Chains A and B, each alone.
Chain A
Amino acid sequence: GAVVSQHPSWVICKSGTSVKIECRSLDFQATTMFWYRQFPKQSLMLMATSNEGSKATYEQGVEKDKFLINHASLTLSTLTVTSAHPEDSSFYICSAHPRTSGSSYEQYFGPGTRLTVT
């Protein structure tokens, strides 16, 4: 149980285009989903927290107009990288907090999406 999927797992796009990444909780409902970014040999950096039906909360330094997050249902959150540039190339990972969890720290992670902007 507690499986989180991401699609696509790997994407290459041209500079200036937009890319949408999906994060789904397959066997549980998630009130909160988190989006992280990981550069090579660096830690996972939290980008934003999204709650179902409300606007995402972005971390300091993360451009909300560039990284659009939509959490339209209890099992799906999307991250759209708009007008992508080579410096946006990174590994994007989502995680989901189960609605029925008794711990505020419980998160299940997706396998990640490798974005390469050329």
Chain B
Amino acid sequence: DQQVKQNSPSLSVQEGRISILNCDYTNSMFDYFLWYKKYPAEGPTFLISISSIKDKNEDGRFTVFLNKSAKHLSLHIVPSQPGDSAVYFCAASDGFQKLVFGTGTRLLVSP
């Protein structure tokens, strides 16, 4: 039972354009959402998060949008850079520290 889903396994974007990564969840008890970036042979690194009481959180080039009614969140990267090429995981928590991860989306930003 996959409670957090990232339906796009890969995404290709040109440098300078916007990258939009999507994530859907099924558990209405989730109240905190996070995005992680992962390079090969490294552990995930935290990017940005959002609480369920907000619908948007912005940090530099990264913005996360949350649509609770649709149980959907998205990560926008503007402008995309080649160094952003990595696997992106969304994760969700119901408030007890444990994180439930999606399957990841591989982003490729070409020059």
Are A and B part of the same complex? yes
Which residues from chain A sit less than 8 Å from chain B, CB to CB? 4, 6, 9, 32, 34, 36, 41-46, 49, 93, 95, 97, 104-112
CB of B26, distance to nearest CB on chain A (Å): 14
Query: Apart from A105-B97, A107-B97, what 16 extra A-B contacts exist at CB < 8 Å?
Result: A34-B97, A34-B98, A43-B103, A44-B101, A45-B101, A46-B98, A46-B99, A46-B100, A49-B97, A93-B43, A105-B49, A109-B36, A109-B45, A111-B42, A112-B41, A112-B42
The prevalent SS among residues of A at the interface is strand
Measured in the bound complex, the distance between the Cα atoms of B99 and A49 in whole Å is: 11
Which residues from chain B sit less than 8 Å from chain A, CB to CB? 2, 4, 9, 32, 34, 36, 41-46, 49, 89, 93, 95-104
Measured in the bound complex, the distance between the Cα atoms of B104 and A57 in whole Å is: 26
Measured in the bound complex, the distance between the Cα atoms of B36 and A84 in whole Å is: 30
A residues in contact with B34, CB < 8 Å: 105
Measured in the bound complex, the distance between the Cα atoms of B45 and A107 in whole Å is: 9
B residues in contact with A42, CB < 8 Å: 103
- 5 A-B pairs whose Cβ atoms sit less than 8 Å apart in the complex: A95-B43, A105-B97, A105-B99, A107-B46, A109-B45
A residues in contact with B100, CB < 8 Å: 46
A43 to B2, Cβ gap below 8 A?
yes
CB of B4, distance to nearest CB on chain A (Å): 7
CB of A112, distance to nearest CB on chain B (Å): 6
A112 to B43, Cβ gap below 8 A?
yes
- Find A44's partner among B2, B32, B44 (CB 8 Å cutoff): B44
A residues in contact with B36, CB < 8 Å: 109
A residues in contact with B42, CB < 8 Å: 111-112
Measured in the bound complex, the distance between the Cα atoms of B42 and A22 in whole Å is: 15
Q: With A46-B98, A49-B97, A105-B32 as given contacts, are A41 and B43 in contact (CB-CB < 8 Å)?
A: no
B residues in contact with A107, CB < 8 Å: 46, 97, 99
CB closest chain-B residue, reference A104: B97
Measured in the bound complex, the distance between the Cα atoms of B43 and A101 in whole Å is: 19
